[in-house]
């Protein structure tokens, strides 16, 4: 059974692509630049992801989640409002930590870096999600929700709703919203900071629908007018080839594995922070690697 939330997000892909094209047209109409090559690259990434999903089916995540379901400690009948509220909050909490791990564990960054590879911040970047997520398996972090009794399809649907919400965040056409909204919810302003490669903006604002967990765990940063976001990876990827976009972080990782001395460094290359390079006793203070963000 297909359990990928990313696959559910790609189901309305034609509509999302149309809306992203309208955004591009609007940007040109108001005299702003729009990279149509990046638009088509994102669409190529989405098409490739659909093909990979068809081949891999449920992948690592599906195997783990359904295995955990067999060992669940309870079963929520989902017949009370607070069941749905708990699922929403639990999903947001798990998503925050998954997203944070995506940025701080290289094995997970291998796929997530694709989402940050666009050098322009537009709606089409929202569905640039990479091809190897079912291999890297970041979504296994939602297993505790299944273990306490939420059915796998409902957990997947909740995550898919989270990702669909984030589609509208990927634009510069929407400015800062009223303060109560900005305080509680993830907004285009907050997510622009998340996608920025400026040293002062890196690794923050991991929330999905809510921004409250960033505030609670110290990873929130506010968009500053004096420091406009600079998008893309810290070492920009200037390719429009979907295959190159999907595997650029993997090729760099394999190069670093060849340079590593001993199993200790190899483990750090795989599971340390993305900026770690072999021959360094400690990671640098700020991300400087080819694929670090």
Domain range summary for the chain, segments of one domain joined by +:
5-216
| Token duo for residue 33 | 């630049």
CB 41 within 8 A of CB 17: no
pLDDT confidence of residue 12: 86
pLDDT value of position 290: 42
- If you ran DSSP here, which 8-state letter would residue 67 be given? H
Strand partners, 210: 185
pLDDT given for residue 289 in this prediction: 40
Residues 135 and 53: beta-carbon distance below 8 Å: no
Mean pLDDT, the chain cut into blocks of 10 residues (293 residues total): 55 91 96 96 95 82 92 95 97 98 98 97 97 93 97 94 96 97 98 97 97 98 96 95 97 94 94 88 48 55
- Among residues 97, 95, 109, 77, the alpha carbon closest in space to that of 5 is found at 95
CA distance 120 to 40: 13
Cβ-contact 181, 271 below 8 angstroms: no
Contact indicator for 192, 121 with CB cutoff of 8 Å: yes
The pLDDT of residue 130 is 96
Backbone angles phi, psi at 231, to 5 degrees: -90, 160
**What's the rounded Cα separation, in Å, for the pair 105 and 271?**
5
CB 246 within 8 A of CB 220: no
pTM: 0.90
Length of the chain: 293
């Amino acid at each position: 059974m297909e359990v990928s939330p990313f696959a559910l997000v790609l189901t309305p892909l034609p509509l999302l692509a149309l809306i992203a094209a309208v955004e591009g047209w609007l940007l040109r109409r108001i005299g702003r630049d729009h990279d149509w090559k990046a638009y088509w690259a994102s669409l190529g990434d989405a098409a490739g992801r659909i093909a990979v999903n068809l081949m891999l089916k449920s992948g690592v995540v599906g195997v783990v989640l359904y295995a955990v379901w067999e060992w669940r400690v309870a079963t929520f009948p989902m017949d009370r409002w607070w069941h749905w509220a708990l699922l929403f909050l639990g999903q947001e909490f798990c998503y925050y930590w998954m997203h944070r791990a995506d940025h701080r564990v290289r094995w997970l960054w291998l796929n997530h870096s694709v989402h940050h590879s666009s050098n322009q911040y537009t709606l089409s970047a929202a569905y640039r999600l990479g091809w190897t997520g079912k291999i890297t398996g970041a979504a296994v972090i939602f297993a505790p929700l299944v273990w306490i009794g939420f059915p796998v399809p409902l957990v997947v649907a909740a995550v898919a709703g989270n990702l669909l919400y984030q589609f509208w965040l990927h634009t510069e056409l929407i400015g800062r919203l009223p303060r109560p909204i900005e305080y509680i919810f993830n907004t285009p302003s907050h997510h622009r900071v998340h996608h920025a490669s400026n040293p002062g903006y890196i690794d923050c604002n991991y929330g999905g629908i809510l921004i409250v967990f960033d505030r609670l765990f110290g990873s929130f940063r506010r968009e500053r007018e004096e420091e406009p976001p600079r998008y893309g990876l810290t070492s920009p990827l200037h390719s429009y080839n979907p295959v190159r976009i999907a595997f650029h972080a993997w090729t760099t990782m394999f190069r670093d594995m060849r340079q590593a001395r001993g199993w200790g460094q190899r483990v750090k290359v795989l599971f340390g922070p993305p900026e770690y390079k072999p021959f360094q006793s400690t990671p640098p203070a700020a991300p400087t690697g080819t694929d670090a963000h």
